[in-house]
Amino acid sequence: MASERGLDRLLAFSDAVVAIALTLLVLPLVDVVAEADDAPSVGALVSEHSDVFLGFGISFAVIWVLWRAHHQTLEHFASYDEVITGLHFVWLLTIVLLPFSTELISVSDPMTAAMPVYVTTLLVSVVALRLIVRQGRRRPALLRDDAAAQAWRDGPEDIVLIPLLAVVLVITIVAPGLGAYPMLLLFLQAPVAWVRARLGPGPRTG
């Protein structure tokens, strides 16, 4: 089991990777602006490249949500082990790949596998973070010794995003012509989680 200082360094490195990934998302928009001379207005430019702008907006929001979930999860950790480290770098790999997969969406024909690649990247990212949660719950010695960490460990597991992403992945494979629009289903996460909470916590696994 590693030290808390080592965990702080790992988290600082992760924050830097996320910041760079967010910055890289804007590159496809820069390419769109290069074509501005051919567009009669900003509205026409945005309309012509709506998939690019939609992909940017959704990807920025998704990376933010993933980082926030990551931050909230690791707040309860005081240390880490080899499993956490391995899962952490899988998660970071998906964050690094998101700008690349976003660029694929912007330059590829809607009938290609660009969207499934993008959604698969998101799905792997969420699963990696869920496995970090599982490892922390299986090894309480990794967690902080306080009431917040105890409540987090004993609370219900939030897995709503995983089945939503799985549904989106299937849709992008079956109906690739829809482009990035199936990603809008991810906005169902909050209401589904709310309904789930109102119905009462289910059994916690892990």
- Residue-wise pLDDT tens digits, 124-167: 999 999 999 999 999 999 999 889 888 888 877 777 888 999 99
The pLDDT of residue 93 is above 90: yes
83: which residues sit within 8 A by CB, 6+ positions away? 135
pLDDT band of 94, cuts 50, 70, 90: very high
Percent of the chain's residues with pLDDT above 90 = 32
Amino acid, res. 13 = F
The pLDDT of residue 203 is above 60: no
* β partners of residue 168: none
Phi, psi of 34 (to 5 degrees): -65, -20
31-69 per-residue burial string, b: 16 or more CB within 10 A, e: under 16: ebeeeeeebeeeeebeeebebbbbbbebbbebbeebbeb
CA gap 101, 172 in Å, rounded: 14
CA gap 59, 68 in Å, rounded: 14
H helical segments located in 75-200: 82-107, 114-138, 147-154, 161-174, 189-199
The pLDDT of residue 7 is above 90: no
Please give the pLDDT value at position 4.
66
Out of 45-59, 119-133, 189-203, the most confident range is 119-133
Global pTM value: 0.77
